[in-house]
Chains A and B, each alone.
Chain A
Amino acid sequence: SQQGEEDPQALSIQEGENATMNCSYKTSINNLQWYRQNSGRGLVHLILIRSNEREKHSGRLRVTLDTSKKSSSLLITASRAADTASYFCATDQGRGSTLGRLYFGRGTQLTVWP
């Protein structure tokens, strides 16, 4: 399978704490993206990190990428109850016959308690 793995599958924290989610993948990539999904609805793009980048920030989000280990992490700082959602990583292999296709990890269900 070209899909990745994420851990933990579920994460439960208090408001104000940080949440860290990890993603591993199997093939070389063009970029890796993180998405959020509320209650089984459409996905919202959060952040994209290219294969030649190691770290990226966007607001309370911090993403790291280690291509040698084929892994990425998403850190949400100072979490809020509104951050409760499922978070997915997705790899864009971006070449050849797979150009433009995204392969998703299993996702992490984050619950933030007020």
Chain B
Amino acid sequence: SAVISQKPSRDICQRGTSLTIQCQVDSQVTMMFWYRQQPGQSLTLIATANQGSEATYESGFVIDKFPISRPNLTFSTLTVSNMSPEDSSIYLCSVGGGSNYGYTFGSGTRLTVV
């Protein structure tokens, strides 16, 4: 299965600023997924990132708030823009193993907005 390096592991940011989270995969993958996990909650899919096309966002998430880049088949970034305390969450990237295999997740970015 793929190995994902996610950075940063945690950050404390001022409201109104932006943070970019990076995920590097050790193999080429078609789709990468970004999730948010609010404190004490489950994971919610933010968007699906395909190389060479705009990301597809889930209901409740917009590109202006969570711009995503996917410059190649091994790398993606998620930016959390104009942050507020409500954005304090763990953000995780993921790649899939196909319909018969599980998904691999990055180690997560714990974001605190003050």
Contacts and interface: CB of A to CB of B under 8 A. Distances in A.
A50 B37 CA distance: 25
B114 interface: no
Contacts of B41: 106
Given A42-B92, A88-B42, A48 B100 contact: yes
Given A40-B90, A42-B92, A101-B48, A33 B103 contact: yes
Interface string B1-18: 100001000000000000
Interface string A95-106: 001001111111
B101 A43 contact: no
Contact of A102 (B37, B45, B106, B107): B45
Interface string A41-76: 111111110100000000000000000000000000
Contacts of B94: 43, 102
Interface string B28-61: 0001010001000111110010000000101000
B102 A33 contact: yes
A48 B110 CA distance: 27
A41 B91 CA distance: 10
A41 to B, nearest CB: 6
Interface string A3-37: 10000000000000000000000000011010100
B60 to A, nearest CB: 11
Interface in B46-95: 48, 56, 58, 90, 92, 94
Nearest to B45: A101
Interface of B: 1, 6, 31, 33, 37, 41-45, 48, 56, 58, 90, 92, 94, 96, 99-108, 110
Interface of A: 3, 30-31, 33, 35, 40-48, 50, 88, 90, 92, 94, 97, 100-107
